[in-house]
Amino acid sequence: MSLKSSKSTGTKVDIYEVVTNRILEKMEQGQIPWQKPWDIKTGAPCNVLSGKPYRGINVMMLGSQYFDSKYWLTFKQCIDNGGKVRKGERGTPVVFWNFLDKKTGKTVESDTDSSTLNSQNSIPMLRYYTVFNVNQCENLDLKKLKEERESQSQEKENEVVEILSAQDIIDNYKDKPEIREGYTKACYIPSLDEIHIPKRENFKSTEEYFSTVYHECCHSTGHESRLNRKNSSEVRTFGDEAYSKEELVAEMGAAYLCAVAGIENKIIDNSSAYIQSWMKVLQNDKRLLITAAGQAQKATAWIVGDVEHCKQLELEQSFPTVSGDIQDAVRLGRIPAELVQSLKGPGLHYSDGELTSVITKLAESPNSELIARCTVSGVISSREELERMIASKSAQPQAAKSLSV
């Protein structure tokens, strides 16, 4: 089902599922989108008007289309600049985060100064829009687009873009672990905070050497002294959830770094067995791609020393994500934002699916207002207690007493 048809019929679009299905389509064609995030000759995908590069999963979603232009724009931007999208062309969804300010009820853009947002006063909302490559459009006034882009950022006219060499990327990793050569296989050891790799001359090519080092460097960013990424240091078994997520972060991160360095990623297996194994993992977890891609870009930002970008990604990933139904209910004032935060907190541990069910029950409960106030106050200690209060016809004395404390 297309995004357009879903919106026209009023059906709720699950953007995680949409993104995963698009990536699976590429894999069914024998492509591994994270092996080559974008064509080195073309450059990283960016918006033709603002010049801003796309981030996270969007890099793969757009780069894997392999148009010979890196420029993209929305349908409206196309029309506003004298063009039209050719009949039959298929747009590509681009995901982004907006934040709902719990005090004002206003939506704040995701690129807002990170110092003004935090998980206590904002709720993240995953949104999307559809873009088209300029090669999917006709009659575009490209001169007008160029003039507009230049007028928006005069400072960029004379800016010299520094292309990092493959070795520069490793050298610029300020707090990198010790990289020790002379081993029979490559790995990162969290307990020692060391990267072990074979001698450089034992690799088949320079690209393979750097691809391998980048992969292990991305693993190392998960160390508690760096990004403290869950699944990075725990014991993992091949094929389990923790292994899949951390390995996907490292593979995507290494691919990003290879693209930045202008070299080919030589360590990803493109065999049918490899593709089938990842397709199975992605089909079982529709959120994996978006979350792993975000963490991979955060890892690469850390390695190349892009502090501001890393802070913004930290902000976007620090919030508990909730489903679109719940986000809309909060935005419309049907559910207290604090209630969602409490139910997603460490005491109750509700998943998105469970949370939707509980809030639906809560809305129908005669004790809904009391339960909401109790939950926000943090006086409901267990899921069992909350379920009992929802099921009861009248508020329990201990709950009422707790509220007054």
pLDDT band at 171 (very low <50, low <70, confident <90, very high): very high
| Distant-in-sequence, close-in-space partners of 72: CB < 8 Å, separation ≥ 6 | 45, 46, 47, 48, 54, 62, 92, 94, 131, 132, 133, 134
More confident residue, 117 or 50: 50
More confident residue, 394 or 297: 297
Give the pTM.
0.66
E strand or H helix at 263: none
pLDDT of residue 404: 29
| pLDDT tens digits, one per residue of 56-72 | 899 989 988 878 888 99
Instruction: Read off the pLDDT of each residue in 345-349 and give the average, rounded to a whole number.
Output: 61
| Distant-in-sequence, close-in-space partners of 99: CB < 8 Å, separation ≥ 6 | 107, 108, 109, 110, 112, 117, 122, 123, 124, 125, 319
Which is nearest to 259 in space by CA: 194, 304, 195, 308? 304
pLDDT mean across residues, the chain: 76
pLDDT of residue 34: 85
Q: Percent of the chain at pLDDT above 90?
A: 27
Say how far apart CA 174 and CA 192 lie, in whole Å.
18
pLDDT of residue 161: 40
- Residue that has been written with the tokens 């450059």 in this structure: 43
pLDDT of residue 307: 67
Q: Which of 7-11, 75-79, 101-105, 372-376 has the highest mean pLDDT?
A: 75-79
More confident residue, 236 or 99: 99
pLDDT at 53 over 80: yes
pLDDT band at 276 (very low <50, low <70, confident <90, very high): confident
pLDDT of residue 74: 94
pLDDT of residue 162: 44
Q: Which of 126-130, 219-223, 287-291, 309-313 has the highest mean pLDDT?
A: 219-223
Which is nearest to 40 in space by CA: 249, 264, 241, 211? 264
pLDDT of residue 240: 57
